[in-house]
Amino acid sequence: MHDGKNGTGNDGPPATEDEPPGATFRTELRRAVTPRATILLCGVLLLEIAFVVSFIGAFHSPRPRDLAVAVVAPGQAQAGLIDELNALPGEPLAARAAEGASEARAMVLDRRADAALLAGPGPDRLLVASAGGPAAVQSLQAVFEKTGGGDVVVTDLRPPHPADGRGLSSFYLVLGVVIGGYLASAALSASYGARPANPHLTVVRLLALAALSVVSGLAGVIVVDPVFHALPGHFGALWGIATLITFAAAAAGMAFQVLLGTPGIALSVLVFVVLGNPSAGGVYPSTLLPPFWSAIGQALPNGAGVTLVRNYAYFGGHGTSAAWWVLAAWAAGGVLISCLASFRRPPAADLLP
């Protein structure tokens, strides 16, 4: 029996013996790759290219720029040494005076300076804290070697924990919870639509994401502390930080989807992966990144999160006020935009399939 369809049971036009070779393939191609699918594939291609450009652009040629150095030297020699360091080609250092060795040491440990140079009788001493980023310490050593200061004695005031390798555990923890945050919002979108049917459902989704963030933060900190002992001794603080990072990414991802629909997921990938990861200060600190990535890094949840985790794990939470504000702004902004956009949607558009 025939049911009005072609012999294959498909809804498309029936194949005939008069069709030229390849006509059936073209028909099936149009069915398999719709115009909407073509647009999505082009979007994926653009994200892929942006990913390669962003990571290679950030990491292909790291160079020190304005590394903060506290300088201690006797008498009038201090001002001359500071001027000499600040006049180096390419401006790799931003030298400033410290009253004495104790203040210089404190400046390194509370993150007001990346290093401290103690000049005087005998070999000069360079105080560093490689837990803040081993790449920055290596760059500082290279700078002093080029300036003829190869005999500088380097003292590491705060090295990474033995299980923290090259000090990258902070970055990997933040990377994991950020991915978890925006994927959680994408999962809700895939299950129930990118735009919640009404403001009530928006609030319910945000509460679900908040609960997930608490669990996500706990799981991440269990991995880096009791399991691998990479960042031990700060369980409660890191749990709170990881929870906030997860929720900031989740709430922002939901806001993107409420505003844009499915393309909001692509925007999340652009912000948190393509731009956020290379600029976060994990592999290279912002002082070694090109200007664009250095400028945006601490304004995104990735960079702010790395600063919070690293500075609480190693530096007593010093130098974190801006990072707290950034994460709070992303979390609160995501909640506010999601709710306002839901309230402003007309009722006819609120119907779920």
pLDDT per residue over 105-114, tens digit each? Answer: 999 999 999 9
Residue pLDDT, tens place only, 314-345 = 999 999 999 999 999 999 999 999 999 888 76
Q: Please list, residue by residue across 155-178, b when 16 or more beta carbons sit within 10 angstroms of its beta carbon and e when fewer do.
A: eeeeebbeebeebbbbbbbbbbbb
For residue 2, what pLDDT is reported? 46
For residue 45, what pLDDT is reported? 93
What is the spatial distance between Cα 346 and Cα 353, in angstroms, rounded to a whole number? 16
Number of H helices, E strands in the chain: 12, 5
What is the spatial distance between Cα 257 and Cα 297, in angstroms, rounded to a whole number? 23
Residue pLDDT, tens place only, 19-61 = 555 568 777 777 777 888 888 889 889 999 999 999 999 999 8
Q: Whats the size of the chain, residue-wise?
A: 353
Indicate yes or no: pTM above 0.75. yes
Question: Is the pLDDT score of 349 beyond 50?
Answer: no
Q: Residue 159 in 3-state DSSP?
A: coil
Helices 199-222 and 169-192, interaxial angle, to 10°? 150
Write phi, then psi, for 65 (nearest 5 degrees): -150, 115
For residue 303, what pLDDT is reported? 97
